[in-house]
């Protein structure tokens, strides 16, 4: 069953995933992202968030080009009924100060400054959020892939308007 859900999720985002280039700069990427169906865009934002956070924590997500979509990922988790994940993403974003920085260089500067303020702490900057995210992304609302597919199916998006 999980393999089937994973295949359906990937099937829904594959073309858009291949067409988008997050390393082309904020303006170009957001322009490309804006051409994707909003529902598919939500799945993409969640996909990149989960991929980066599970690979290197929120630090990696915010450091990478795909971190430009952190606000979209938080909104997508909310739309999927994954309110705990949405709250964790928003909490992690808040550690970078007011007004989430879309530009990568500014996120990197804020990451460095925020971590530098914690030098005396035994925890890394995002340890609490990383732990909370790892606990919830695969289980809340049946897991992010199931929640995403259910979200698309509720709107009859993907695969020619048929449910996935």
What CATH number is attached to the domain comprising 9? 1.20.1420
pLDDT higher than 90, residue 127: yes
Long-range contacts of 14-18 (CB under 8 A, 24+ apart): 16/40, 16/41, 16/44, 17/44, 17/47
Max Cα separation, the chain?
55
| Mean local confidence (pLDDT), 83-107 | 95
More confident site: 97 or 92: 92
Q: In terms of pLDDT, which residue wins out, 120 or 7?
A: 7
Rg (CA), the chain: 16
Q: What number is the average pLDDT over the span 82-99?
A: 96
Q: Name residues whose C-beta falls within 8 Å of residue 162's C-beta, 6 or more positions apart in sequence.
A: 156
Mean pLDDT of the 26-31 span: 82
Outline where the chain has alpha helix (H): 2-19, 26-34, 38-63, 70-79, 83-94, 104-116, 127-136, 144-155
- pLDDT tens, position by position, 132-142: 999 999 999 99
List the end-to-end C-alpha distance of the chain, in Å, as a whole number.
13
- Look up the domain containing 125 and give its range: 2-161
Segment 62-77, tens digit of pLDDT: 999 889 999 999 999 9
pLDDT band at 61 (very low <50, low <70, confident <90, very high): very high
Q: 24 falls in which pLDDT band (50, 70, 90)?
A: confident
Cα distance between residue 59 and residue 95, in whole Å: 11
Q: Which of the two residues, 156 and 7, has the higher pLDDT score?
A: 7
Instruction: Please tell me the total count of domains within the chain.
Output: 1
């Amino acid at each position: 069953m999980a393999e089937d859900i994973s295949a359906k999720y990937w099937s829904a985002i594959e073309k858009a995933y291949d067409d988008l280039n997050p390393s082309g700069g904020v303006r170009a990427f957001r322009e490309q992202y804006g051409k994707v169906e909003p529902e598919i865009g939500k799945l993409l934002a969640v996909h990149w968030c989960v991929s980066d956070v599970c690979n290197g924590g929120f630090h990696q997500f915010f450091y990478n080009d795909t971190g430009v979509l952190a606000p979209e990922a938080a909104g997508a988790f909310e739309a999927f009924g994954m309110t705990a994940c949405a709250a964790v993403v928003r909490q992690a974003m808040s550690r970078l100060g007011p007004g989430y920085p879309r530009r990568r260089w500014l996120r990197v500067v804020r990451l460095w400054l925020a971590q530098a303020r914690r030098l005396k702490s035994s925890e890394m900057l995002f340890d609490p959020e990383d732990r909370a995210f790892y606990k919830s992304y695969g289980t809340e609302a049946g897991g992010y892939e199931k929640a995403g597919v259910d979200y698309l199916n509720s709107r009859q998006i993907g695969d020619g308007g048929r449910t996935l």
